[in-house]
């Protein structure tokens, strides 16, 4: 029997990030891992903080009855209460443990939310560039992704977002700190977006949800703060994970937080718990739930990422490659250099191929809805970034003269 058309199409298009990651493995086998400069995937290389290891060792030595059994689909009540306090601090509004649903990472959380809110044909408005999997997540649940450009500095273009809203708009999905640009949306932008969503709701009777994807919230630079979403708009949900803040991407642990002022809040919370079950997650991993509940103040050393960012910026500056200034996360979104005629180039695929000739792996911006740009992840050893200096200069020179 044939596979589903949607899966076949997705396989043909493929994930640009995974494709480059797999090509990197092949190049490393051919030339040696120390000769390949792989900036393709946001897989944190910093080990989890020491507190995590201490709690992990202690808990694996405990033998409490039922500690590895099922719990309520939404998670352990004590864990949800602990993370509600964390979310309350971050978002500047008081929420209780019943407003938190534990999830299988942020990706699982997004699918749970979208399953809960989408009817076939409903629209989710997404600013571009965007994380490559959003379209698949929305499509999983019968929705349609509507893309809206951002401003030149990658801040949200609120009038453009407002113009894209229709009676079929179920949600606006944002990501800050942003992958791939590193942009942190300012509080004024979030306030303007909230006002636009309220105005649309008053006009149409349907208030779109504001869905914020925040796995990088705690990775910011120069003392920046990520504005609270739950306090900015009544119909908001935040999804997050510990993949980046605690370097636990393989443990698949995160949560959903629901704004306290949401209309039909109880119905939403019931839907999220039900969707967690019927999507097959059943519940978030039991051991990881208990661990992160004790680590609400812990995070990786963001200073390591800041130093890497600064070294990488100097590498790109020497090569004459322009980039958006990263305010958070751990990516550099770089403009494809102009050719020798001085005209801007939108050929990010071609530039990535030239970089690959010099054993540099990046991801074409086309995969993020940003043609003419490439993404470079700096969650790699600083020595690798420094060692890539000559390769970037040679690749950029080859590109300009081609």
Question: Which helix (H) or strand (E) is 240 found in, with range?
Answer: strand 236-241
Where a domain ends, among 293, 322, 357?
Answer: 293
Residue 160 belongs to some domain of the structure? yes
The model's pTM is 0.95
3-state SS assignment for residue 350? helix
Residues 262 and 385 in one domain: no
CATH code: domain of residue 177: 3.40.640.10
| Whole-number Å distance between alpha carbons of 220 and 225 | 7
Residues 267 and 397 in one domain: no
Residues 208 and 354 in one domain: no
Domain count, the chain: 2
- The answer to whether the Cα torsion of 117, 365, 341, 311 is positive or negative is positive
Instruction: Please list the pLDDT of the chain residue by residue as tens digits (402 residues).
Output: 588 888 877 766 556 666 776 777 788 788 887 889 999 988 999 999 999 999 999 999 988 888 999 999 999 999 999 999 999 999 999 999 999 999 999 999 999 999 999 999 999 999 999 999 999 999 999 999 999 999 999 999 999 999 999 999 999 999 999 999 999 999 999 999 999 999 999 999 999 999 999 999 999 999 999 999 999 999 999 999 999 999 999 999 999 999 999 999 999 999 999 999 999 999 999 999 999 999 999 999 999 999 999 999 999 999 999 999 999 999 999 999 998 887 888 999 999 999 999 999 999 999 999 999 999 999 999 999 999 999 999 999 999 998
Where a domain ends, among 252, 270, 293?
Answer: 293
Residues 281 and 332 in one domain: no
Residue 56 belongs to some domain of the structure? no
Tell me which residue has tokens 């990520």.
Answer: 226
Residues in Cβ contact with 253 at an 8 Å cutoff, skipping those fewer than 6 apart:
102, 103, 104, 105, 241, 242, 284, 285, 288, 289, 292
Cβ atoms of 276 and 73 closer than 8 Å: yes
Task: Indicate the length of the chain as a whole number.
Answer: 402
CATH code: domain of residue 12: 3.90.1150.10
| Whole-number Å distance between alpha carbons of 345 and 333 | 15
Residues 234 and 268 in one domain: yes
Residues 153 and 246 in one domain: yes
Residue ranges with strand state E in 97-234: 100-103, 123-128, 144-149, 169-175, 209-213
| Whole-number Å distance between alpha carbons of 173 and 194 | 12
Q: Which domain range does residue 156 map to?
A: 66-293
Residues 187 and 38 in one domain: no
Where a domain ends, among 229, 259, 293?
Answer: 293
Residues 274 and 346 in one domain: no
Closest-CA residue to 133 (of 117, 118, 145) = 145
| Whole-number Å distance between alpha carbons of 264 and 340 | 59
């Amino acid at each position: 029997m044939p596979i589903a058309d949607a899966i076949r199409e997705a396989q043909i298009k493929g994930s640009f990030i995974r494709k480059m990651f797999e090509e990197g493995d092949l190049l490393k086998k051919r030339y040696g891992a120390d000769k390949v400069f792989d900036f393709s995937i946001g897989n944190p290389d910093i080990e989890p903080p020491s507190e995590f290891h201490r709690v992990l060792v202690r808990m694996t030595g405990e033998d409490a009855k039922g500690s590895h059994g099922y719990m309520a689909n939404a998670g352990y009540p004590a864990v949800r209460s602990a993370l509600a306090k964390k979310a309350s601090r971050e978002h500047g509004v008081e929420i209780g443990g019943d407003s938190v649903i534990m999830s299988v990472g942020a990706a699982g959380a997004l699918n749970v939310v979208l399953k809960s809110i989408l009817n076939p044909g409903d629209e989710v408005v997404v600013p571009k560039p965007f994380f490559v999997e959003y379209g698949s997540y929305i499509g999983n649940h019968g929705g349609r992704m509507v893309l809206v450009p951002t401003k030149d500095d990658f801040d949200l273009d609120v009038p453009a977002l407002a113009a894209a809203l229709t009676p079929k708009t179920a949600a606006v999905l944002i990501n800050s700190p942003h992958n791939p640009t590193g942009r942190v949306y300012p509080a004024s932008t979030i306030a303007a977006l909230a006002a636009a969503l309220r105005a649309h709701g008053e006009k149409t009777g349907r208030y779109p949800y504001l869905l914020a994807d925040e796995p990088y919230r705690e990775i910011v630079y120069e003392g920046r703060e990520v504005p609270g979403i739950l306090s900015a708009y009544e119909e908001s949900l935040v999804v997050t994970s510990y993949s980046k803040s605690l370097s636990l991407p393989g443990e698949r642990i995160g949560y959903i937080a629901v704004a306290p002022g949401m209309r039909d809040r109880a119905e939403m919370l019931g839907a999220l718990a039900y969707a967690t079950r019927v999507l097959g997650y059943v519940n978030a991993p039991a051991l990881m739930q208990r661990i992160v509940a004790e680590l609400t103040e812990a995070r990786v050393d963001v200073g390591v990422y800041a130093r890497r960012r600064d070294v990488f910026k100097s590498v790109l500056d020497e090569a004459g490659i322009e980039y958006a200034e990263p305010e958070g996360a751990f990516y550099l979104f770089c403009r494809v250099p102009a050719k020798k005629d001085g005209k801007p180039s939108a050929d990010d695929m071609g530039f990535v191929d030239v970089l690959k000739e010099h054993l540099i792996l990046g991801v074409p911006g086309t995969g993020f809805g940003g043609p003419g740009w490439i993404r470079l992840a700096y969650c790699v050893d600083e020595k690798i970034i420094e060692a890539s200096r000559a390769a970037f200069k040679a690749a950029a020179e080859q590109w300009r003269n081609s």
